[in-house]
Amino acid sequence: MPDKFSEVTLILFASTLIILLLTGLIVVSLFINQKRKYRFHREKFEMKTNFDQELLRAHLEIQSQAFESISRELHDNVGTLISIAMVHIRSMSVSATEIEKMSEVDSLLNEAMDSLRDISRSINPENINRLGWQKSFMAELDRIRKTNRFNVHYSEEGLPFTIELQKQIIIFRILQETLNNIVKHSYGNHIYAHVCFLNNMVSVTIKDDGKGFQAQPSDLPGEGAGIKNMRSRAAMLPAVLEIENGVESGTIVTLSYKEQTL
């Protein structure tokens, strides 16, 4: 009888222990598998982010080269042609009645030459490198002011700090796209630009008094390519880009970038 009893207890305790161990093993393997799954998902996400960044960088590089070549072409080729045309016009002997027309043509060519020079400067990345993003932005505002379509108001506060050249180009392109959008779509009369430097952080706010912005989530296909580019560029810095409607009218675009300190 005692032998049978010890057999029964052995069976009971051994089977319970085996089941406990098996359950533990199953749960531990489940946790290990989940940890592996997490790592895989993270790696996949990182790879996708890196790939997107590389793609964007390549895209920006190609765009930058294209801008540079267009800028050079405008300056060296079209600019030269206009200059030659101006020289020819000035050297022509015209009758007294045609003098007025000639001087008008001359002033139009002068204006075209100025605009051409401005465009050439604004799209040339080397120019941004030389002047810096802030002066290039001010030059861009100046160019818009000259069109007489907008009253441009500029203000700044704080002490400017140095930003890496590649990042300066990205910041400038975002601001340039914002101004282009205002000129093309806002139908407003005023542009207010405010630049604020504070504790290694620069915040640029551009406001207009136009018809406003139809806000849509960034991942919707309805959003324009320009704004998508602005958002991808901001993500590349990384910076925070906010686009919202103004209190009464117009749009407010704010770009905030914090320079990383070591």
Q: Build a one-symbol-per-residue string for 38-67: x at contacts with other proteins by CB under 8 A, - elsewhere.
A: x--x--------------------------
Provide the token pair at 40. Answer: 């895989």
Confirm or reject binding of residue 189 to other proteins (CB under 8 A).
no
Stretch that binds other proteins, among 17-25, 106-114, 152-160, 177-185 (CB under 8 A): 17-25
27: left (phi over 0), alpha (psi -120 to 50) or beta: alpha
Q: Which stretch binds other proteins (CB under 8 A): 10-18, 169-177, 231-239, 241-249?
A: 10-18
Nearer of residues 42 and 59 to other proteins, judged by Cβ = 42
Locus of tokens 């020819």: 88
CA distance 54 to 168: 18
10 Å Cβ neighbour count for 260? 9
Residues recorded for the chain: 262
Bridge partners, residue 255, by sequence: 204, 241
Contact 118, 143 (CB under 8 A): yes
Residue 6 binds other proteins, judged by CB under 8 A: no
Cα(120)–Cα(111) distance, integer angstroms: 14
Separation CA 165–CA 131 (nearest Å): 11
Q: Shortest distance, CB of residue 48 to other proteins, whole angstroms?
A: 15
Name residue, tokens 């290039």: 136
Among 7, 23, 164, 224, binds other proteins (CB under 8 A): 23
Q: Is 27 in the site for other proteins (CB under 8 A)?
A: yes
Among 16, 83, 155, 189, binds other proteins (CB under 8 A): 16
Per rule CB under 8 A, is residue 8 in the interface with other proteins? yes
φ, ψ for residue 124, nearest 5 deg: -80, 115
Interface region with other proteins, contact rule CB under 8 A, candidates 11-19, 148-156, 211-219, 230-238: 11-19
Q: Is 69 in the site for other proteins (CB under 8 A)?
A: no
Contact residues toward other proteins (CB under 8 A) are: 5, 8-9, 11-12, 15-16, 19-20, 22-23, 26-27, 29-31, 33-34, 37-38, 41
